[in-house]
Structure 1
Amino acid sequence: MEVSWIRRKGEEIHLLTFGLHTYASDSRIALIFRPPNNWMLQIKYANERDKGYYECQVSSHPPLIYYVLLDVIVPRVDIVDERWAMIDYKFYKEGSTIELNCVVSHVPNPTSYVTWKHGQRILNYDVQRGGISVKTDILPDGAMSRLFIANANYNDSGNYTCALGRIASTSVYIHILKGTLKTR
């Protein structure tokens, strides 16, 4: 009796393992065999491109086929402004309050801590500058974190990053302008 793992992509069939041999060109894929009859397919560092149908085939009589649909949920981190629009950069008038919202989603029961950085400086507990406030709410499928920086000045310009541990992060560039902002 031989056991093989196969991946189906549409009409394409890719042999991943046969017996104790791995045929996948992707080094993240391995076979773990635990006697007497436990043939596990391992995919290290699974990502979105690994989503799809897999088959475990046993060459018994009659043949046995076990179908698996792998779904990979990728954590998402977005920085949005006070109007909940996703942003890559934002302009603020000197003396105003910077308000950024970080929405973490697709993370069931998050256990990592949401951090805010300005450049390489962590802002969550920054007491040097003053006027910085971070409030984070843990939600069933992610988190919502708000960063407020009062009395913005030129030194507050730069790259701001919101991160959920080492799982996922995103950044926004903040520009602080002297004088008044003209609106159309």
Structure 2
Amino acid sequence: MKKQVRKSEAHLQAAPFFPVNFPQYCKSLVRNLKEGAAEDEENDENNARPDDNYPELTAVPYFMSPGSRNITVAVGQTAYLHCRVAQLIDTAKVSWIRKKDLHVLSSGLVVFASDQRFQVNHPEKSENWTLQIRYAQTRDSGIYECQVNTEPKIFMGYTLNVVESKATILGPEYVKTGSTINLTCVINQAHMSGLVYWYHNKDILAYEGPVTISTREERQRTVSHLTIREATPKNSGNYTC
């Protein structure tokens, strides 16, 4: 608006006298000022560029933080690879690619893999495009890419590790009647705390009475402790976890 005011002042200074029809002249001047301001506003909008530091202000798809992209699961578990894409336009598709053989596993919600263990989960109106692999096998380990077919194409890689879980039980083989049984189960995989169970012979042990079970996560493993107070002969047998 400042630029337009300066223009009107220059016009008035250049006029040697006021027009005969002064009211009509004022109306014309105001109309010209409004039209000039609208034209400048339109030019500003046309020349505006989105700030690269704020991708949410752009009109193209972009990846949101997916959390960890290095996923480790045990054989037989379900693997979830979470891909989050914001501002996905109608003409763009999210695809999952297996890098080791460049196999296109899916495009949108259509799954091309003949292996029924592969599935894509996409809740309606969400940014999540999750690749789900049920009953994961060691052969499923490798790099997977989440791709969006924009121009240029954008993609994000994920590393899946499928390992065979191994458990080792540490503790004494014999205890005296009335003493405390302390056994420790060490599993060579983290994030297993909710999946660890103790068995006495073929019966699962309950967390009650003299039995105490505590499980914790360590860097690359899971450790579970079994404690049985005041042991009796009926506590004899095989213990597994």
TM-score interval (norm. to shorter): 0.5 to 0.7
Q: Deviations over 1:30-88 (max 9, x none)?
A: 12345668461331446353332111222221122222223457765322343xxxxxx
Aligned partner of 2:200 among 117, 126, 137: 117
1:32 matched to 2:121? The reply is yes
- Which of the pair is proportionally richer in strand? 1
Change (3 A) 1:46 1:8: farther
Q: What CA distance in whole angstroms lies between the structure 2 residues aligned with 1:52 and 1:102? A: 32
TM-score (norm 2): 0.43
Match of 2:97, SS state, is strand
Aligned partner of 1:51 among 141, 144, 151: 141
Q: Deviations over 1:112-165 (max 9, x none)?
A: 674332233647647xxxxxx544343333333245685658x945x4333xxx
TM-score (norm 1): 0.53
1:139 matched to 2:216? The reply is yes
Match of 1:5, SS state, is strand
Q: What does residue 85 of structure 1 align with?
A: none
1:161 matched to 2:240? The reply is yes
- Tell me the amino acid that sits aligned with residue 136 of structure 2: N
- Tell me the amino acid that sits aligned with residue 161 of structure 1: T
Cα-Cα RMSD: 4.1
Larger radius of gyration: 2
- Tell me the amino acid that sits aligned with residue 111 of structure 2: T
Match of 2:225, SS state, is strand
Note if contact 1:5-1:17 (Cα within 8 Å) is conserved in structure 2: yes
Aligned partner of 1:15 among 97, 101, 104: 104
Change (3 A) 1:107 1:15: same
Q: What CA distance in whole angstroms lies between the structure 1 residues aligned with 2:151 and 2:106? A: 20
**Matched residues, number:** 144
Change (3 A) 1:35 1:62: farther
Bigger relative contact order (CA 8 A; separation at least 6): 1
Percentage identity across paired residues of the two chains: 24
Q: What CA distance in whole angstroms lies between the structure 1 residues aligned with 2:212 and 2:97? A: 47
